[in-house]
Amino acid sequence: KEFLVEISGTTVTITCPSTEESNVVWEITGTKASSGERKHVIENHNSSPTNVSCSSGAKKHEMYLNVRVCANCQELDALAVTGIITADLLITSGVLILVYYFSKDRKGRPSASAGARPRGE
């Protein structure tokens, strides 16, 4: 069984894989907190790696928690990300087509550079 970790802003919610609901003892980097619930909420997490363990009775589950949190993050669903990527690809290909068609006519013309001098004998 695995831990369930949910991240929202700077709040991290951890669910213990133990099936027993009562007497769950949480230990986070040396400090014990007996909340009695399977879920433990860490408010204002500072993104530092921590060791998390939960135990109920004789069973003890341990986990190394290394999550990055931020206060000003926006959560995007898969449809929004797909839309942004598709729009970016369409705009980029449109610009490429425009540059191709506008530069196509200039291939045969000689350039009029200031440094060009006729060669002497």
Which tens digits make up the pLDDT trace of 51-93? 888 887 778 888 898 888 888 877 789 999 999 999 999 999 9
Question: Percentage of residues in the chain with pLDDT exceeding 70?
Answer: 81
At residue 42, does pLDDT exceed 80?
Answer: yes
Q: Tell the residue number behind the tokens 């341990």, with chain if given.
A: 62
- Quick one: tokens of 9? 């802003």
Would you state the pLDDT for residue 22? 67
DSSP notation for 33-54:
EE--SSEEEESS--S--EEEEE
Half-sphere exposure of 38 (CA within 13 A, CB side): 11
